[in-house]
Structure 1
Amino acid sequence: MADAAATLPIGAQPRRPKVMHFVTGGFSGATQVALDLVQAHALSGEFDAMLVLRRKPQTDMQRVHALSAQGVHVEVVTHWPHMATVWQLRQLCLQWQPDILVAHGFSDHIWGRYAGLWAGVKHLVHVEHNSRERYTWWRLKQSLWLAQRTDRIIGCSQGVKASLLALGFPPEKTIAISNGIRLAPYALGGGVALAEREPGIVMAARFANQKDHQTLIEALAILKSRGLTPPLWLPGGGSAHLRKRAERLSESLGLSEQVHLMGFHPGVPGLLMRNQVCVLSSRYEGMPLSLIEGMAAGCVVVGSQVPGIQEVIEHGRNGLLVAPQNAVALADALQRALQDTPAAQQWATQGRSDAVNHYSFEQMAATYEREFANLLGMPCAEPPAGAVFEPF
């Protein structure tokens, strides 16, 4: 980079390195992280950035257009067939000439890196966002082949990193960088005590088998049998089929007045700060952004004891962990969070402190940018305190 800059005409500015982030257009947690990083590059001024979304049947094109109107350089490629996805992404790479292509999430990281290799992109990065993915024998073989041609393999938590290593990904390339959230929308979260909030429960998650809304609704029915009828707020898009299933289950259990299926909801920070409990009943996770948001909002957090979540929640210190797919255990934890006010307030206070000190957007973005700078041989600052970066 320095040699190239030295040959520029006097007064000319060197070209900023270009980073392309490729991710599902399903607006999942992986999509949010990729978008956050694209926006972080614009804020830092260190990199030019493009967001490429793989269009899914549920992709909300109004949200895509809104991102473009906000100044995000965003493109969309087809979802199917895979060869068409690879071809279209390759064309974008040839046109835009990124220095680094970052392919987020399964199976998008496969198609993204094929396109990057075909287009001759110099540096490839694979980011894994879940501790458990649908790796068939053939998909894993392809991924391990691509890993030999990839500069960095990043797990969004230590649990995800461990799962990658267990699958045989090269340890010398595999690192962990924790996800982070924007804290500004939750600035008032520490000022609203639990006793001043509605005794409600929020689970902000897309409708997907992974998230297991069914067990949460069944736990709500158990609470009702014990005389507790907290409202349950469910903001999130995702599968229309699973949303309808959750609606039918709520009706069959007599919970229609308690369960509120909200769809995509832009006011999640306010919703969290008005309610006492934030829950995530996932069967598996990567790094639970919605729980970190609940912690930042000053809620009591309750989550499944699975990799990713159990890194964020330390049972009895900053929240509660329960066995996954266990409605009784989840109901017990929710009852405790709603009724044991002194303990719940301690968990909520500690959780907010942990979110602020360890899981900020700024820490995540700075650590990613440091890694990208290392790949390009650029000078870079040390990562901020609290960021997770373990190369081995």
Structure 2
Amino acid sequence: MRYLLIHQNFPGQYKHLFPALAKKPDNLVVGIGEEHLVRQRFNGAELPHNMKLIGYKSPHAAGEHTHPYLKGFEGNIRRGQQVTRVLLDLKKRGFYPDILLGHPGWGEMLFARDVFPKSKIISFCEFYYRGTGADVGFDPEFGSNLDDYCRIRVKNSTLTQALLDCDLGIAPTEWQKSVHPPEFHHKIAVVHDGIDTVQVAPNPEASFTLADGRVLTRRDQVVTFVNRNLEPYRGFHSFMRALPIMMAQNPHAQFVVVGGDDVSYGRKPPEGGYRKLYLKEVADKIDHARVHFTGKLPYHAYLSLLQISSAHLYLTYPFVLSWSMIEAMSAGCIVIGSNTTPVTEVIKDGRNGLLVDFFDHQGIAATITRAMSNPTKYHPLREQARLTAISQYDLQSVCLPKLIELIHS
């Protein structure tokens, strides 16, 4: 079998599938991604003979005079053209994939069907934007208007084309499937990317070293908050506004905040980033010696932090569910999650975690305090959280086998 995997930030969601498909020596698996990202992630790594990586050059941005609604779409078309040149070269050299998988979000899949009309095309259905009922309009602090709704409709053009072209779509969660147009639901299967629950597991001997040299362990009270970037979409503003209350109620607790100052989702941050903005808002109400901003962490350090967590707070708009929440559950954390649809699909209040209102700073603080003040009482939640991760989201026993079976069905 011949497989082609396409992802701007390769391998992205195909991190585990890419090598799994190459386990059969007769298979040939080709991965395509943006050149500088492929180089950065693989750094000259030697791959087996039946795994190939190809990078394409970053496309030019949209033209200066392009209509604002169309700037993203034009950028996607330019990226699609770059990838098409790679596909045509592969075809010229005799490579024709039996199965082609790709993330359509950046336009890379726009013309794949035109180059390989006979391939089985499988699209990664991560999210389909909506004017109501999801992320847009959820947070009154960041209002929406007709201009936003019109822009979103055009933004979906690339995703709609992918749904029309694909033979099968794969969404990580039922809720992420649900935001796609109902007329395409028959095409979309639900399979999570998977969590390595063997690696991401409780470790009573774990420790985490702060920047000032202090070492935290399970014997300390540690509240953890983790995002790729600290931004409103992932509830950073709600966390910061709850922080003075949490600190007052838990005078011995340390608060460790992981994440960068860029933006992954939503509006660009003001000058200096959201961390600077919201830290300034609460600056005179918190004990700065007990809140630790780590920036982005190496994976092993991030995992150690989860393993010592006394209470892990995960907040999100109705949007894509983060891997980190399920990793926290797999590590045996008490997860306090926002009562938003992506979270409630996984966390059942009082059974495998606790739910809080995204905007209720008093409620967030009270729930964190409740979880930390009586750890024995909430130990069953830790156990059930891990059991949920293993039974529903384990990479090797659940998700990867189901994904491989699906793409060959």
Q: Same fold (TM over 0.5)?
A: yes
Mapped contact 2:110–2:158 kept (Cα < 8 A) = no
Deviation string, structure 1 residues 53-84 (Cα, Å, up to 9, x no partner): 357xxx87774244x42648363542533333
Q: Report the AA paired with residue 368 of structure 1.
A: L
What one-letter code is carried by the residue in structure 2 that aligns with 1:215? S
- Pairing partner for 1:82 from 76, 84, 93: 76
* Unpaired stretches in structure 1, ≥5 consecutive residues: 1-15, 26-30, 375-392
Note if contact 1:19-1:47 (Cα within 8 Å) is conserved in structure 2: no
Q: How far apart, in 2, do the equivalents of 1:203 and 1:43 lie?
A: 37
> Do residues 40 (structure 1) and 32 (structure 2) align?
no
Q: Following the alignment from structure 2 to structure 1, what is the Cα–Cα distance between the partners of residues 33 and 259?
A: 19
Cα pair distance change 1:290/1:227, threshold 3 Å? closer
Amino acid at match of 1:144: T
The residue that corresponds to 1:356 in the other structure is 390
Q: Name the SS for the 2:226 alignment partner.
A: coil
| Local SS of the residue matching 1:78 | coil
Q: Does the Cα contact within 8 Å between 1:286 and 1:307 map onto a contact in 2?
A: no
Query: Contact 1:126 / 1:154 at 8 angstroms: preserved in 2?
Result: yes
Contact 1:179 1:287 in 2 (8 A): no
Output one character per residue of 1:213-258: Cα deviation in whole Å (capped at 9) or x when no partner: 1211221221123344532223334616757321442352435323
Measured in 2, the distance between the counterparts of 1:371 and 1:171 equals: 16
Q: Which of the residues 168, 174, 184 maps onto 2:188?
A: 174
DSSP-derived class of the 2:77 partner = helix
CA distance in 1, matches of 2:228, 2:273: 13
Identity %: 17
User: How has the CA–CA distance of structure 1 residues 237 and 63 changed in structure 2, closer, same or farther, with 3 Å as cutoff?
Assistant: farther
The Cα shift of 1:348 comes to 0.5
CA deviation after TM superposition for structure 1 residue 19, in Å: 2.7
Q: Which of residues 329, 338, 341 is equivalent to 2:375? A: 341
- Is it true that 1:223 corresponds to 2:246 in the alignment? yes
Secondary structure at 1:114's aligned position in 2?
Answer: coil
Please state whether the residue corresponding to 1:324 is helix, strand or coil. Answer: coil
Deviations 1:19-56 (A, max 9, x none): 3131447xxxxx6422232233335668543443357x
Looking at structure 2, the residues matched to 262 and 126 of structure 1 have their Cα atoms a distance apart, in angstroms, of 35
Q: CA RMSD in A?
A: 3.2
Are the equivalent residues in 1 in contact too, given 2:76–2:158 (CA < 8 A)?
Answer: no
1:261 paired residue among 259, 271, 293:
293
Whether the aligned pair in 1 keeps the contact of 2:257 and 2:292 (CA below 8 Å) is yes
Aligned length: 345
Counterpart in 1 of 2:6? 21
Q: Is the 8 A contact 2:5 2:14 kept in 1?
A: no
For 2:101, the aligned partner's letter is V
Write out per-residue CA displacement over residues 182-206 of structure 1, whole angstroms, 9 at most, x where no aligned residue: 12323444788xx944311222311
Structure 2 runs not aligned, ≥5 long: 62-74, 129-133, 137-150, 207-216
1:23–1:103: 8 Å Cα contact kept in structure 2? no
CA distance 1:339–1:263, shift in 2 (3 Å): same
Instruction: Confirm or deny: 8 A CA contact 2:218 2:309 kept in the other structure.
Output: no
SS in 2 for 1:20: strand
Asked if 2 retains the 8 angstrom alpha-carbon contact of 1:182 and 1:360, the reply is yes
Distance in 2, matches of 1:332 and 1:187, equals 27
- Deviation of residue 133 (structure 1)? 6.7
CA distance, structure 1, for counterparts of residue 220 and residue 54 of structure 2 = 39
Whole-Å separation in 2 of the counterparts to 1:342 and 1:204: 24
Assess, with a 3 A threshold, how the Cα gap between structure 1 residues 116 and 338 changes in structure 2: closer, same or farther: same
CA distance in 2, matches of 1:249, 1:315: 29
Aligned partner of 1:101 in structure 2 is 100
Contact kept, 8 Å, 1:20 with 1:52, in 2: the verdict is yes
Aligned partner of 1:118 in structure 2 is 114
Cα distance, 1:300 vs. partner?
Answer: 0.6
How far does residue 158 in structure 1 lie from its aligned partner after superposition?
Answer: 0.8
1:21 touches 1:104 (CA, 8 Å); kept in 2? Answer: yes
How far residue 156 of structure 1 moved from its aligned partner, in angstroms, is 0.8
User: Match for 2:233: what amino acid?
Assistant: Q
Distance across 2 between alignment mates of 1:34 and 1:61: 13
1:211 and 2:207 are equivalent in the alignment: no
Quote the Cα distance in structure 2 between the aligned partners of 1:159 and 1:45. Answer: 37
Q: Is the 8 A contact 1:147 1:169 kept in 2?
A: no
Q: Work out the CA distance in 1 between the residues paired with 2:367 and 2:163.
A: 41
Q: Using the TM superposition, give the Cα deviation of residue 345 of structure 1 relative to its aligned residue in structure 2, in angstroms.
A: 0.9
TM-score, normalised on structure 1?
0.77
What is the aligned partner in structure 1 of residue 41 from structure 2? 64
TM-score (normalizing by structure 2): 0.74
Aligned residue for 2:228, secondary structure, equals coil
SS in 2 for 1:318: coil
Structure 2 CA distance for partners of 1:61 and 1:153, relative to 1, 3 Å = closer
Instruction: Tell me by how many angstroms 1:351 deviates.
Output: 0.7
In structure 2, give the amino acid aligned to 1:171.
H
* 1:159 and 2:175 correspond: yes
Q: How does 1:244-259 map to 2 (within 5 A)?
A: 244-251=273-280, 252=283, 253-259=285-291
**Runs of 4+ residues over 6 Å off in structure 1:** 59-62
Does the Cα contact within 8 Å between 2:195 and 2:393 map onto a contact in 1? yes
What's 2:146 paired with? none
Query: Is residue 369 of structure 1 aligned with residue 386 of structure 2?
Result: no
Distance change >3 Å, CA 85–CA 159, structure 1 → 2: same
Distance 2:31 2:219 in 1: 38
Aligned to 1:299: 333
SS in 2 for 1:183: coil
Is 1:199 equivalent to 2:196 in the alignment?
Answer: no
Query: C-alpha separation between the residues in 2 aligned to 1:35 and 1:119?
Result: 25
* Cα 1:69–1:198 shift into 2, 3 Å: farther
